Amino acid sequence: MAYTGLPRIKHVRAFTVRGGGADYHDQGAGHWIDDHIATPMARYPEYRQSRQSFGINVLGTLVVEIEAEDGTIGFAVTTGGEPACFIVERHLARFLEGRNPAEYEKIWDQMYFSTQYYGRKGLVVNAISGVDLALWDLLGKLRGEPVHALLGGAVRDELQFYATGSRPDLAKDMGFIGGKMPLHHGPAEGIEGLRKNIAELATMRERVGPDFWLMLDCWMALDVDYATRLALAAHEHGLKWIEEAISPDDYWGYAELKRNVPRGMLVTTGEHEATRWGFRMLLEMDCCDILQPDVGWCGGVTELLKISALADAHGKLVVPHGSSVYSYHFVITRHNSPFAEFLMMHPGPSEVLPMFHPQLIGEPVPVNGRLRASALDKPGFGVELNRDLPMHRPYAR
C-alpha cells in the first residue's frame, strides 16, 4: 500500500494568554521569582527590586494550535504572547496548512529560513519553537504515541529533577537532587552585594548539609571579573555550578570564565541561546560544561535533536531549561541528559505546583523529586489545554 502520509494540516491558530503558564515570570506580587533577583538591568536602581518593572513578563504566553483534517488537534505553549501570534499567523502558518505533519524537517527549514532576515534568535525562534512543539504533539496524537516514543524511546525508567527556587532546603525535603537559587545581588551592589550572595549560599549549605547540590543562577547579570570572584568565594561552600553568569552574546567571556573557575565547579548556560548554530558556538569556543537550551525558545524538538547530538559528540551534557512536559519527553530519551530542571512555581516556594500552571490539564509533577516514565505515556506531550482560561486570538484569519 503506497505511503499517503498523515491527515493534512487544516488550520494553524495562535492565541495569547496571561498569568503564569509558559510565561512563568508572569506571576503575582510576593513571588520568590520576582524578589530582588540580579539581572543586566540591575545597574539601574529603579529596575533592581523587580524584574517585572523592566518587563520580564511583557510578552505573555503563546498558545499554538494545529488542527488536522480529521479534527485531531495538537497544541503547545511557550513564551511569546501577541507579537508571536502575529509571526505564527501572518508568516509561519503558510508553511504548514495543507501539509503532511510528518514533514517536520521541511516545515522547520522553511519556518527558519523564511524568517532568518529578521529572526534567528529570541521571539521569532520562540514562535517557531511553539509551532514545532504543537506539530510534535499532533504527530503523537495522530500516531497514538507519546513524543518520547517518537524520539527513540526512554533510556531510563524515571526522570530525576533538581529544583529552581529560593529555598533549596525545602527542595531537599521534597526529594529533589539539588537546589538552584537565583542570585540576588549583581556588580552594581559592589562588594557588599557579593558578600550577601555568599552569605546566602553559606546559610543554605549549612541547612542542606555537605552533599546536596547547590547552584546559583545569575540570569546574565554579571561580568567576567565579578563572576570569577563569586565562583572563587562560593567554592568553599561547594557550589556545583554557576549558571548564565554573563551576557549570552559574550562567548569569549564564557570561555574566559570557564578557565577561571575553580576545578570541579561547572559553568552552565544556554537558556537564551537558539538553534544548532548558537550552540555550536558555545561548544566550539568551550564556553560551558552543561548546555541548557529551552525547548520552547531554542527551535523546538526538531532543533533540540540536532543540538543534543552535537553536544553529545563533544561529550557535553544537555539539561534543558525548565519547560515542563516539553523537556521531560526529550530528557528521558537521551543519555547525555541525565536529569531535568523543575522550576518551583509556588510563591514560597513551599510546595510542588505544575510548572506551567494553570495552562496544562494533566501536567505531571515530580513526586519525591522523580517522575516515572509511565507518567509520560499518553499520546503527544500527554496534556490538554485548559480552555477555561481567557485566550485571545489577535490575528484570526
Ligand X SMILES: C[C@H](O)[C@H](O)[C@@H](O)[C@@H](O)C(=O)O
Residues in touch with ligand X (CB under 6 A): 33, 37, 164, 182, 217, 219, 271, 321-322, 341, 343
Minimum distance, C-beta of residue 397 to ligand X, in the bound complex (Å): 33
Size of site (CB under 5 A) for Mg ion: 4
Q: Which is nearer to ligand X, 22 or 373 (CB)?
A: 22
Name which of 193, 245, 187 is nearest 216 in CA terms: 245
- Binding-site residue positions for Mg(2+): 217, 243, 271
Minimum distance, C-beta of residue 167 to ligand X, in the bound complex (Å): 12
CB of 246 within 8 A of CB of 220?
yes
Which of ligand X, Mg ion, none does residue 141 bind to, with CB < 5 to 8 Å depending on kind? none
CB of 323 within 8 A of CB of 132?
no
Region binding Mg ion by CB under 5 A among candidate stretches 1-9, 227-235, 265-273, 383-391 = 265-273
Q: Which is nearer to ligand X, 164 or 197 (CB)?
A: 164
Q: Which residues are catalytic?
A: 321
Q: Tell me the C-alpha distance between 311 and 165, whole Å.
A: 27
Which of ligand X, Mg ion, none does residue 322 bind to, with CB < 5 to 8 Å depending on kind? ligand X
Q: Tell me the C-alpha distance between 278 and 351, whole Å.
A: 35
Q: Tell me the C-alpha distance between 301 and 396, whole Å.
A: 26
Strand (E) or helix (H) holding 366 = none
Which of ligand X, Mg ion, none does residue 33 bind to, with CB < 5 to 8 Å depending on kind? ligand X
Name which of 334, 339, 333 is nearest 370 in CA terms: 339
Residue 70 CB partners (closer than 8 Å, separation 6+): 7, 142
Q: At what angle do helices 275-284 and 301-313 cross, to 10 degrees?
A: 20
Minimum distance, C-beta of residue 319 to Mg ion, in the bound complex (Å): 10
Strand (E) or helix (H) holding 62 = strand 61-68
Give the residue at shortest CB distance from ligand X. Answer: 182
Which of Mg ion, ligand X, none does residue 96 bind to, with CB < 5 to 8 Å depending on kind? none
- Binding-site residue positions: 25, 51, 217, 243, 271, 341
Q: Tell me the C-alpha distance between 66 and 222, whole Å.
A: 40
C-alpha cell at 54: 523592566
Q: Which is nearer to Mg ion, 132 or 244 (CB)?
A: 244
Minimum distance, C-beta of residue 313 to Mg ion, in the bound complex (Å): 24
Q: Which is nearer to ligand X, 127 or 343 (CB)?
A: 343
CB of 285 within 8 A of CB of 251?
yes
Question: Would you give the binding string for Mg ion spanning residues 266-295, x where CB under 5 A is met?
Answer: -----x------------------------
Q: Which is nearer to Mg ion, 270 or 369 (CB)?
A: 270
Minimum distance, C-beta of residue 83 to ligand X, in the bound complex (Å): 20
- Name the 3-class secondary structure at 150: helix
Q: Which is nearer to Mg ion, 244 or 363 (CB)?
A: 244
Name which of 347, 348, 302, 298 is nearest 323 in CA terms: 298
Count CA atoms within 13 Å of residue 238 on its CB side.
15
Backbone angles phi, psi at 89, to 5 degrees: -80, -40
Which of ligand X, Mg ion, none does residue 343 bind to, with CB < 5 to 8 Å depending on kind? ligand X
Which of Mg ion, ligand X, none does residue 164 bind to, with CB < 5 to 8 Å depending on kind? ligand X
Q: Is 217 in the site for Mg ion (CB under 5 A)?
A: yes
Give the residue at shortest CB distance from Mg ion. Answer: 217
Give the residues lining the site for Mg ion (CB under 5 A): 217, 243-244, 271
